[in-house]
Amino acid sequence: MGIVVVEVCDGNAITTLNIEEILEEEFPEVAVLTSDCLSFCGLCRVKPYALVNNKRVFGSTPEECLDKIRAAIKEELAIYQ
């Protein structure tokens, strides 16, 4: 388990990217968890999003969202350095 946890809903547009492989390869300290539902009803249909250590991160496209997730991960990791 990583020190930064990224949670994604499997019905979300962010899953068009292989976010688990991308992030866990780039950041060994990260664990990506995919759930059936993260209980943010409707948000997954509107915008790609994820939770980074329980903080919502979203973008207009999956790629933009991934960039914002990376930034949020770096902020979280800065705490431990």
pLDDT one-digit tens code per residue, 7-57: 998 888 888 899 999 999 999 999 999 887 766 666 667 789 999 999 999
Phi and psi (nearest 5°) for 20?
-60, -50
Domain count, the chain: 1
Model confidence at 62, pLDDT cuts 50, 70, 90, reads very high
**Two tokens at 52?**
């980074």
Task: Say how many CA atoms lie within 13 Å of 68 toward its Cβ.
Answer: 18
Pairing of strands 4-9, 55-58: unpaired
Inter-residue contact 58 to 48 (CB < 8 Å): yes
Gap between the Cα atoms of 23 and 50, Å rounded? 12
Tell me whether strands 30-35 and 4-9 are parallel, antiparallel or unpaired: parallel
**SS3 state of residue 22:** helix
Q: Which residues span the domain enclosing 52?
A: 4-79
